[in-house]
Structure 1
Amino acid sequence: MQFMKHLPSSCPACSEPLRIVRLKCAACETAVEGDFAFPALMQLPPAEQEFVLRFVLCSGSLKEMAREMGLSYPTVRNKLDDIIDHLKTLAHEPTR
């Protein structure tokens, strides 16, 4: 099994949201600095990000996801509903 490193979106010391302050091109070294928020999908925990990725790769078919994951359709639907609620919460949080 291959493990992917996940970009942290919260501070390991105080758990507050991290901000992006610098982006750099690996090819030409151009850098952009500012104060940027993480996109909502990147603010989800890794397991929820993985679920969203699987959902897209299954063309949005919860029936197909349930089959692949070995779960019931209602269980998969509930997981999606939880992620939707989480994204709605993130969308209403004030940016810092």
Structure 2
Amino acid sequence: MAVSQLSCGECDTQVNARLPIPVFFKLPEELQHFVLTFLRCRGNIREVEKELGISYPTVCKRLDLVNELLGNAPPSNVNRHEILEQLERGEITAKQAAQLLKGR
């Protein structure tokens, strides 16, 4: 999928071209929210914990998952069992689990 048109609501300018979707927007919405929270907290994991009401290990796992999905990290050392547990807990989607299990 790609963006094919951009338009300005103020001046009615339109650009028609095949534009790739930025990688950030390929993340599931909940991970986009996580990344924005992480940035707002300036990378302070303790602040992310407080704001999202999740544990330190969960913040770290989500960071690893974001890096994995963005292709910024070497293949994760998370084993298949942990990936399936994350899927079961609803922390990742079935598509994300499949990608992780395939090593992508």
Q: Shared fold by TM > 0.5?
A: yes
Once the 2 structures are TM-superposed, how far is the Cα of residue 70 of structure 1 from its aligned partner?
A: 2.1
Once the 2 structures are TM-superposed, how far is the Cα of residue 30 of structure 1 from its aligned partner?
A: 0.9
Distance 1:70 1:50 in 2: 13
User: Which aligned pairs between 1:6-25 and structure 2 lie closer than 5 A?
Assistant: 18-25=1-8
Distance 1:78 1:68 in 2: 16
Sequence identity (%): 36
User: Which aligned pairs between 1:34-53 and structure 2 lie closer than 5 A?
Assistant: 34-53=17-36
Question: Secondary structure at 2:30's aligned position in 1?
Answer: helix
Once the 2 structures are TM-superposed, how far is the Cα of residue 35 of structure 1 from its aligned partner?
A: 0.4
* TM-score, length basis structure 2: 0.65
Distance 2:17 2:30 in 1: 29
User: Which aligned pairs between 1:1-96 and structure 2 lie closer than 5 A?
Assistant: 18-88=1-71
- Which amino acid in the other structure matches residue 64 of structure 1? E
More helix by share: 2
- Which amino acid in the other structure matches residue 30 of structure 1? T
Distance 2:48 2:69 in 1: 20
- Which amino acid in the other structure matches residue 38 of structure 1? I
- Which amino acid in the other structure matches residue 37 of structure 2? R
Ranges in structure 1 where 5+ consecutive residues have no aligned partner: 1-17, 90-96
Once the 2 structures are TM-superposed, how far is the Cα of residue 74 of structure 1 from its aligned partner?
A: 1.0
Work out the number of aligned pairs and report it: 72
Distance 2:14 2:54 in 1: 45
Ranges in structure 2 where 5+ consecutive residues have no aligned partner: 73-104
- Give the CA RMSD over aligned residues: 1.2
